[in-house]
Structure 1
């Protein structure tokens, strides 16, 4: 009887250890939850929203303008930010009288709540780097204000893909 109990306990321990290893691997390489601490992405993502970050997607497809990206902050890589990708390598980004221009052409952004205040740029994005901006443009610490204005590819963590909290806003993030 004691031997059977010991064997069953060992099977439980092995199962829990395997499940833990799988969960840690998924979190490290595939998908990770994140709590958004600031309002820089309002109205798309609110303070306190819990989101899922797809950490694998950019291994199989390139980053695209408009993606909501989680990355290490270029001025302090110990911090993680979430912003919208606005400029790709080679792009020239400029804001004139509250209007965003990419490579000299006006870029329409239907996800903003209000026009951008001020003039910024032009900024030429180096190859292998990205220019990021929050959707809450007038209250976002983003590429316009950083010392190191561009995010290197190696600092990209993943793409914000799904909101899991609050319950009344569960769904894909666009």
Structure 2
């Protein structure tokens, strides 16, 4: 009997340890950092398919979408703050409040956003775009797709400096390269992918549109793992050395 009691106590202790570990993990995921992976090429060249990154949950404060499964416990944000123009952010797709999207915030409340001839305009002014050279988009089809690589510099705002990042364009005459002017409402932001001709984003009003501040999950901070299409299943560790993109590990998202 004593042996049985000891065994039972051991199981209870193990279960309690697992429960505590789960609660700690959920707490960290809710208030600090949450891992995400990149399944599509809409943020190339900043983020590649197969990148795994951490998102800081505290950057913009907390909403119901900070919690697992987005329970409808409260509305708005607690300790809320506006993102900076140029932040790469994860948000819940407004039309279902469930699907995770990751894009770059280019428009803040009150901004006027328009794309003309492939060039982003903010409040009537063209955003500086510097051509860097040709770029081959890989992983989006059976063969690489040619594009053009640019450095785009978003204008300074208040005490925030101008922020530069890279984008790619396949053409300057695609469906989203000439848009009407969008005025971002209060309480919303405007998000675009860095792969400008292959990104479903705020330019598509019927699909994404303006993103409520409440839907922001957090800001992308750094890539902790990255693997290309040569990898097998996650458990096939022998495929990792040739598939891991070593130069992307622990790099900041800018």
CA RMSD of aligned residues (A): 2.0
CA distance in 1, matches of 2:39, 2:190: 21
**Paired residue secondary structure (2:180):** strand
Are 1:151 and 2:211 counterparts?
Answer: yes
Are 1:119 and 2:139 counterparts?
Answer: no
1:95: which partner in 2?
A: 115
- Higher mean C-alpha displacement, 58-67 vs 125-134: 58-67
Are 1:165 and 2:225 counterparts?
Answer: yes
> Going by fraction, where is helix more abundant, 1 or 2?
1
8 Å CA contact 1:40, 1:136 repeated in 2: yes
2:195: which partner in 1?
A: 136
CA apart distance, 1:36: 1.3
CA apart distance, 1:93: 0.6
1:22: which partner in 2?
A: 24
Unaligned runs of 5+ in 1: none
The structure, 1 or 2, with the larger RCO (C-alpha pairs under 8 Å, 6+ apart) is 1
Q: Using a 3 Å threshold, how does the CA distance of structure 1 residues 23 and 145 change in structure 2: closer, same or farther?
A: same
8 Å CA contact 1:92, 1:104 repeated in 2: yes
Q: Using a 3 Å threshold, how does the CA distance of structure 1 residues 76 and 12 change in structure 2: closer, same or farther?
A: closer
Are 1:66 and 2:86 counterparts?
Answer: yes
**What is the TM-score normalised by the length of structure 2?**
0.63
Q: Deviations over 1:62-104 (max 9, x none)?
A: 3110000100112232211000001000000111122111111
**What is the TM-score normalised by the length of structure 1?**
0.89
> In the alignment, which of 90, 98, 106 is matched to residue 86 of structure 1?
106
1:46: which partner in 2?
A: 48
Unaligned runs of 5+ in 2: 62-78, 129-151, 153-164, 227-244
> In the alignment, which of 56, 59, 63 is matched to residue 57 of structure 1?
59
- Higher mean C-alpha displacement, 97-106 vs 4-13: 4-13
| Aligned residue-pair number | 174
